Amino acid sequence: MRRTSWRRLAVVLGVVGALGLAACGRSAPQGPGTSSSVASSSRSSSGVSVSLNSKLPVQQVAVADLGSLLPTPLEGLAAVAWQGKIYLFGGSGPAGFNATVWSFTPTASGGVISRAGSLPVALHDAGAAPTSTGVLVCGGGQSVGSSDVYLWTPSGTRTVAPLPIPLSDLEGVSAQGSPWCLGGWTGTEYSDAVWALDPTGAAAPRLALHLPEAVRYGAAAALPGGILLAGGDRVNRGPTSSVQWVPLAGAGKPAVVAALPSAVDKAMAATVGQQALVLGGCTASGTPERDIWSLDALGEEQAVGKLPAGRCYGAAAWLDGRVYVFGGLGPGGQALADVLELRPLYGLPGA
């Protein structure tokens, strides 16, 4: 069931006010990148009023399978949107660990994946975060984790200041204008560390915060004010349902703010406006899930759709109004090479 917060109520009242102004022939005050018109809406087959206005909460997600666009099945990869494309880093597949960096460009018929460069070493389970100068790829590894951090650009890759400890199975994200890596596995223990990265890689990563629960294989997304981390694997306890909120810029302490309906690890996440979409994940038995959940910084959650089939251990990123999901593991542990396109539909709760 959807829980309503005072902050959500304020957002809804603000949207209702904007709709009222539009109905009276007046436009609401405009901010950067906004339009004076309210996006057209329609009533879906489930009776929910939906639209393409991304200022509203996500109510549903329409999913399309674009086919097997990856050159090879990949799991444990990272996806980052940067300068109009989505770049894919690392992962493992039938041929072993991957060093090739792939780019994805959406097209009218689906999308095109092209070779965009390479990393100095083949790896999987790394964290990746975009910066103004490139993409920082931190940790990951093969049979053991690494402390290496790379700054990748289409013109080349250079090794920058490393993590203080080796880490794999961690998450990378850009939030509040800065790159971060969090969680993971040191080789001997699970990590609760949240690392602030230097966008240029010149300075060593700084230990900024500690998670309430140390996890590997979480699903992270940047939201206004911080980072949401959903699910993950806990030491000796298997997957967790916990949703952790990591406030940045000194705005409180990290806390568990909600619980997913199922305990999962290796889920995928992407930022959609002021919400995060959490996709799939693996249960304790290794069964991949189909659920798509929308969550906000207060932990308010809503079921918004289903993947075509269970999926975990892939990667997701937002670009040009869509969320794209790459590879992963499907039913029976099958490694996947396909790409999914998710189109969010927005609306007022209960409309």
Annotate 187-225 with DSSP letters as a single string.
SSSB--EEEEPPTTS-SPPEEEEE-SS--BS-EEEEETT
> Structure tokens of 33?
């990148």
> Structure tokens of 245?
């909120």
> Structure tokens of 292?
């798509």
Listed residue (53, 44, 63) closest to 14, CA to CA: 53
b/e per residue, 109-120, with b = 16+ CB within 10 A?
A: eebebeebbebe
Task: Give the model's pLDDT for residue 53.
Answer: 54
Neighbours of 328 (CB within 10 A): 32
Listed residue (253, 334, 344) closest to 61, CA to CA: 344
Instruction: Give domain status of residue 13, yes or no.
Output: no
Instruction: Give domain status of residue 333, yes or no.
Output: yes
CA distance 263 to 243: 10
CA distance 246 to 314: 23
Listed residue (257, 168, 245) closest to 209, CA to CA: 245
CA distance 325 to 318: 9
Residue 252 carries which side chain, given as an amino acid letter? G
Task: Give just the sign of the alpha carbon dihedral 306, 283, 322, 56.
Answer: positive
Q: Which domain holds residue 173?
A: 58-346
CA distance 163 to 100: 22
Domain of residue 112, CATH code? 2.120.10.80
Instruction: Give domain status of residue 5, yes or no.
Output: no
Instruction: Give domain status of residue 40, yes or no.
Output: no
pTM of this structure: 0.86
Task: Give the model's pLDDT for residue 348.
Answer: 73
Task: Give the model's pLDDT for residue 350.
Answer: 59
Find out whether 13 and 4 touch, Cβ atoms under 8 Å: no
Instruction: Give domain status of residue 148, yes or no.
Output: yes
> Structure tokens of 66?
């674009």
Q: Total domain count for the chain?
A: 1
Q: Which residue has the tokens 């929910």?
A: 48
> Structure tokens of 260?
């997913």
Q: How far is CA 215 from the centre of its chain?
A: 16
Instruction: Give domain status of residue 17, yes or no.
Output: no
Find out whether 138 and 172 touch, Cβ atoms under 8 Å: yes
Per DSSP, 331 falls in state G
Q: Which residue has the tokens 């994200």?
A: 173
What does the pLDDT profile of the chain (351 residues) look like in tens digits? 454 443 343 333 333 333 333 333 333 322 323 222 223 444 444 444 445 556 788 999 999 999 999 999 999 999 999 999 999 999 999 999 999 999 999 999 999 999 999 999 999 999 999 999 999 999 999 989 999 999 999 999 999 999 999 999 999 999 999 999 999 999 999 999 999 999 999 999 999 999 999 999 999 999 999 999 999 999 888 999 999 999 997 778 999 999 999 999 999 999 998 999 999 999 999 999 999 999 998 889 999 999 999 999 999 999 999 999 999 999 999 999 999 999 999 987 655
Task: Give the model's pLDDT for residue 40.
Answer: 40
Instruction: Give domain status of residue 6, yes or no.
Output: no
